[in-house]
Structures are given as structure tokens and as C-alpha cells.
Amino acid sequence: MLLLIFLLICFSPRVLGQLEESQFEDDFDLADFDLDIAPRRVPRQVKTILTKETKPHIQELSIKTTIISRYAFTAVYCAMLNRHSAAAEGVFSFQIPAGAYISNFTMIIGGRVYQSEVRPRQKKVKQENGKARNKESGEASQEPELEVFRMAASIPGRNRAVFLLTYEELLQRRLGHYEHVTSLRPLQLVSRLSVDVTIVDHSPITHLQVLPLRNGKSTNTVSTKTQVKQDPPTTTVIKQEKNVCKITFGPNIVQQAKITTNGILGDFVIRYDVQRELGIGDIQVLNGHFVHYFAPKDLPAVPKNVVFVIDTSASMVGTKIRQTKDALFTILKDLRPGDRFNFLSFSNRIKVWQPNRLVPVTPLNIRDAKKFIYMLVPTGGTNIDGGIQTGANLLREYLSSPDSSQNSVSLIIFLTDGRPTVGEIKSTAILGNTRSAVQEKFCIFTIGMGNDVDYRLLDRMALENCGMMRRIPEDADASAMLKGFYDEIGTPLLSDIRINYTEDSVQYVTQHLFTNYFNGSEIVIAGKLTNNSMESLHVQVTASNNDKSIILETDIPLRHRQIETEKHVNAARVAMASGPKTPASGVTHGLGIALGSMAEDFVERVWGFLSVKDGLRSRLRSQTSKEREDHIKQATNLSLNYNFLTPLTNMVVEKPEVLADGTMAPSPTSSQSSGDTVSTANELPSDSQYGETPNDNKKPSSQNLSLGNKDR
């Protein structure tokens, strides 16, 4: 990270110190343009502009990403200008993917560098209101898979401030492609805005698509069967080679204004996929670590047993129940002849379509199921526990009957738009009842609709029972998102997957046992090699497909894989350091060099990233306090080692102090420094005992940084 800061200072020297009068001339304002005719310069009205603008102007927002073998490093550079002689508050707000971890935050204000520090979180008695904090409002906070990082700092008069944020994420494969999302919501028009994404993969890139800018009402999950040709945003430039792709997007201030004048452009979305290797998949080796990507294809679908548990409480009335019905009608068409299914609705009462059984997929059963769905009427309260218990009993009874197939995949798809109000309403009791009912025999996939949902409960319910949770925003196209989520899990290809490596040759391997593998997804495993001089690594994959047992095994030449991995790391560095000359090319070039340097250890960082995720999940399944504490300790140490802001860590940064005359206060000694704390609200449930450490020395004017999605 020190390299990144150094490069930014070198390539952008004007971020330090006060500004000369002439240095205002390179900035742009919307007032300089007539949007109804061809853009042209007009005389600048400086005094008029200064009286209208009360907040610092974002001169530059540069976002650069390197995606190397599906692991994304992103650096965000934001330069703000305070034109006034008095100090002004500058607010840096940026949305990051909910699955990403922030790895650095730095400010450069008044010629001083303020570097963040990641520290362990301390226990606290109770989290405020039991809810995640979110300082943002409006459209920017309604994204289901994004969370908001926010920092407010005083900027001295006639000064610039630079905010630098870096974060990392492992892209997940869904519906046959990876999706990388860059949020463009600066909340004002930006003089120089640029997005630069470089994709480098060991496997050839077979599919690449840049979608139109996506706003809060767009669907985040779209069925592959409904995809249509969509053009990328204007000014997007795509350069694609066999293993390297470069995508740039840089609308000027007029082009931004034609999209929107409020600075909320939306999400810049890239989808891509790579060529699949047959057999055990793709293994990459670098500096004593390995990462294994496994995504088999061309396998017959495994029959599934599915129970749909649908909320029909009074709050579902109107658009929600209509869109839910539309999605279920479509899903019924996709059920396969070998599947078994049932529906139940819950409110004050539980209504089961076919009591005590799961029925086969036949034209008659499909017709009767449509009638049941059509007749659903929202009324009453929300009995979440009753719905889950009834659905679990249906599946358990079927699995113990002679009609059940031993090699089928069983799951519950649970949908609600509210919190428990009828029956058992305590989350801990509902989770305990669910574990007892499921007995590790099937998976639960949960879906929340709208803003009044206990997403912590749904998230933990899914995680504890080998499932996933999805959130549908209040104003989204729920029908399309429900269908898209079903498409993710509707085609199981393998069950009981076990991936093993040569005993005593590897250690600290991440999760390598998986209940199911769904078509279009991917399994990723990472670990450490015990001996870097080993010649080969034996890999064995065992799984079930229908009535067949599958065994795949091979020996991986480690030295050869190390050389291949080094080659495409070097390709990433070259690609990131190159690029066209632009007004902001100095900054983006510096970001590119720094990200290329970070990519040198990408395999180890993938291992660290997955290990933290595993630790956070494992503590939820812990049976004893000691086991839970061990998982927390391990995940905390890894978070600190890789400088990750996770639910178990805080990020602390010194707060700049500006005097009343608009100038910077003298540098305080280390003992006098006051810090602001960043904590992630994207916590897994039962994190409420871990929170921010009270700071008794914090000045009254200090402000907490925030990171979170208000419902998660």
C-alpha cells in the first residue's frame, strides 16, 4: 500500500499543499456548456459558480480494476477541490460489492498523508438497535449486493483532498458467467471520470459483454434464457485478446449530464466467462500457494425434490404477490420430468397444496399447481417458523419413503417480505428449530423482498443449511429476479462433492466438501503447499451424478503450473501499466502499476480471502463456545494479516483538524491523534457482540466512517 500512495503522490503532485490561482483553470463545470447544442466553451462566471456551490467539487474520480484469474483488485482515486477560502466538509462516498473486503483507505489533505489501520474488533454488550448503520439515503442505498463506504473530512480553504480506497473480491460464477460491478454514484457531475478494467486469465476468455448502465430498479440476476443483445454505455472502449481484455469508460461532464444530472449514473457491469478445462479443472500455483477452479459441464441434470414456501401475509398484497405468482408460473414450466415438488403458503395459517407428499412433474400436477398459486390471497401475519417447519417435514417424510431417489438433490426455496410476527418470533429459536428440522438432509435457499425483512435471519438460515440468500429491492422487477435465482439453483449437476489432495503435501485448505454443484456455477478451493520443491500434486475429485459415482484424478506438475501462473501475472502487470494518454493518465498509470504489483501475490490473497470467509461461516455452525472462539480468532488474525476490513475488524484513520481560519492545524503528536473508525455492517448474523471500541478521546467534531447496507 505504501507503493500505491507513493505513486499517487508522484503522478499527482498537485494534491499536496495549497493551490495557486491558475490551478483552478483546469476544472470544468456544467455551467460552461449548453446541453442543447454542440459542446463549446463560454466565458466562465467564477463568482456566480462559487456562490452556488457550497460543497467541494469532485475534480477527478478514477476507478481502476485488475481481475486476474477471477480475483479482482480495485483502486478508487477521488480528488476534491475546495474553491472557498474557508474550510468545507468533503464527503467521499463509494459503493463496493457486499462480498468484497476493503484492504486500504488513505487520505491526502493539506499536504499530509492519513493512512488507515486495521485493528481487531472488541466485544460489546449490544449493537445499536441490532441493525447495521447506513449513512446514505435515496437510490444509492437500495442496491441489494452493494454496501456503502463513507468518509467525511474537513478540507482547508483553497485546497484539494485526495481519497484512495482499495478493495478485493473473488468473482462468483453464476448462470455461466462472472459479473464485475463498478458503482458510479458520486452524487455530482465529475470533471474527469474514468473506469478502467483489465481482465487477465490463465484460460482463454470466451465471452465478454458490457451492459448498459444499471440503476437501482434493474435486476441483478437475469435468466440466461431471457438475455438480449444490449449495447455498452457511450464512450466504452473494449480491447479483447485471447487471455487479456481491457475495458475503459470515460464520459465527460456533458455526457454524464445527458445520462443524469444528479451524479447517480448507476452500475458499470461487465460479464465474462472463460474456457473450461476438462477433468479436475484449472489449478494455479504461485509462491507456495495454490488455487483450484472446478466447473464441470456437459453433465446430465440430477433430479431434485423442491418445496416452495411462499409468504402470503397481508404485506404481500399488490405488486409483490402478483410478481411472485408470475415467477412461479414460469418456474413451473422449467421443472423436469424427474423432479418432485410441492407448494405451501404461510401467514397466520399454513396451507399445503399436496399434504404429506411431493408429487411428480406431470401436466395434470402442473395445472393443479397453477390453480393453487393463482388462488393465493395475502392476509394475516407472518409465521416464518411454521412455514419452514411444515416444508421441512414434507421433505423429510418424502426422503424416508420408498419413492425417493437416493441420488436426488433436495431443497427448500423460502420467500418472505417481512419479519416473524406469528408463532415463534425469536430469531435464535427459529434458527434452532430449523437446524433440528433439516438435520443436514437438504438445503434452504432464502429470498427476501423489500425493506422490512430480517435479512440477518434469512442469511444465517441459508448459511447454516448449505444454501444462499438473495435480496430483492422494493422497486425491482421481482418476477425476473425470482426466476433468475431459480435458474442458478434449478439445475443441479453433482451432489456430495469431495476434493482431496496428496496427504501431507498441502495444509490449511479451504472448504473442499460441497453438498451440491449447480450448472453455471464454480467451486473454488485454495491452500498452502507444505513443500515448495515438490514436483507434483495428486488431486482427486469424487461426486455423484444421478445413479453414477464420478471419480476424477490426476497429478499436477507444480513447477510447470508455477511458470504458467507467473506468465499471466506478468501479463497483468504489463496490461495495467499500459493505456492511452488522457488528462488523468498520470493517476491511472500510477494506479495500474500499484495494482499490477499487488497481483504478484494474488494466489495467496485468494487463499486469505477464502479462509476468512470460511472462518466467518464456520463460527455459525460451531457447537461449543471454544470452537466458536477458535474460528473467530483464526478469521481475525487472517483479516489483520491481509489488512481486510471484515465483520471482525475495524479500520481506524486519523481525522484531519482544520482551524477556524480554514488552515490545517499543526501536526499532533501520536499520543494526541484522534481516530475515526470504520466497521463493516455486512456482518453475518450473531456478530452483535462484536462492535466498535468506544473512543473516549474522540473529539466532539469527529465523525465515524460508515460501511454498510442498511438491511444487511
**Set of cell numbers at residue 560:** 510447470
Q: Is the separation of the CB atoms in 339 and 301 below 8 Å?
A: no
What is the distance of C-alpha 682 from the center of its chain? Answer: 10
Question: Where residue 672 falls among pLDDT bands split at 50, 70, 90?
Answer: very low
- Of 142 and 267, which is predicted with more confidence? 267
Task: Kindly state the average pLDDT of the residues 135-145.
Answer: 41
Closest C-alpha among 5, 18, 1 to residue 108: 5
Highest mean pLDDT among 15-19, 158-162, 708-712: 158-162
Amino acid identity of 372?
F
What DSSP state is assigned to residue 191? S
Residues comprising the chain, all counted = 712
**Set of cell numbers at residue 327:** 415467477
For residue 291, what pLDDT is reported? Answer: 97
pLDDT at 134 over 50: no
For residue 677, what pLDDT is reported? Answer: 62
pLDDT at 15 over 50: no
Closest C-alpha among 55, 79, 249, 264 to residue 164: 79
For a pLDDT cut of 70, what percent of the chain falls above it? 78
Task: Kindly state the average pLDDT of the residues 143-153.
Answer: 79
For residue 658, what pLDDT is reported? Answer: 77
Element containing residue 565 per DSSP (H, E): helix 558-577
Question: Where residue 22 falls among pLDDT bands split at 50, 70, 90?
Answer: very low
**Set of cell numbers at residue 43:** 466565458
For residue 127, what pLDDT is reported? Answer: 40
Closest C-alpha among 59, 109, 243, 273 to residue 654: 109
Exposure string over 532-552, b if 16+ CB within 10 A, otherwise e: eeeeebebebebbbbeeeeeb
- Of 277 and 482, which is predicted with more confidence? 482
Task: Kindly state the average pLDDT of the residues 331-345.
Answer: 95
For residue 224, what pLDDT is reported? Answer: 45
For residue 38, what pLDDT is reported? Answer: 43
Exposure string over 17-29, b if 16+ CB within 10 A, otherwise e: eeeeeeeeeebbb
For residue 409, what pLDDT is reported? Answer: 94
Phi, psi angles (nearest 5°) of residue 153:
-145, 145
Amino acid identity of 322?
R
Least confident of 42-46, 167-171, 706-710: 42-46
- CA separation, residue 189 to residues 24, 56, 126, 480, 636 (Å): 17, 12, 40, 32, 39
- CA separation, residue 95 to residues 98, 100, 104, 381 (Å): 9, 11, 15, 35
- Of 217 and 264, which is predicted with more confidence? 264
Task: Kindly state the average pLDDT of the residues 264-280.
Answer: 93
Sheet bearing 548-557, strands edge to edge = 513-518, 492-501, 536-545, 548-557
For the chain, what is the mean pLDDT?
Answer: 83
Closest C-alpha among 247, 184, 254 to residue 214: 184
Indicate the Cα dihedral angle 488, 489, 494, 495, nearest 10°: 150
Phi, psi angles (nearest 5°) of residue 107:
-120, 145
- Of 217 and 316, which is predicted with more confidence? 316
Give residue-wise pLDDT tens across range 489-538.
Answer: 999 999 999 999 998 999 999 999 999 999 999 999 999 999 888 899 99
Task: Kindly state the average pLDDT of the residues 346-350.
Answer: 96
For residue 712, what pLDDT is reported? Answer: 38
SS (H, E, C) 362-389: CHHHHHHHHHHHHCCCCCCCCCHHHHHH
- Of 48 and 607, which is predicted with more confidence? 607
* Pure H helices in 599-703: 602-620, 625-641
Task: Kindly state the average pLDDT of the residues 250-258.
Answer: 95
Closest C-alpha among 380, 384, 316 to residue 348: 380
Give residue-wise pLDDT tens across range 677-712.
Answer: 655 544 444 444 444 434 444 443 434 454 554 333
Residue 636 and residue 291: Cα distance in Å, rounded? 22
Residue 491 and residue 304: Cα distance in Å, rounded? 8
Tell me the Ramachandran region of residue 699: left when phi exceeds 0, alpha when psi lies from -120 to 50, beta otherwise: beta
Amino acid identity of 600?
E
Residue 14 and residue 111: Cα distance in Å, rounded? 9
pLDDT at 248 over 90: yes
- CA separation, residue 258 to residues 53, 189, 238, 664 (Å): 21, 11, 22, 38
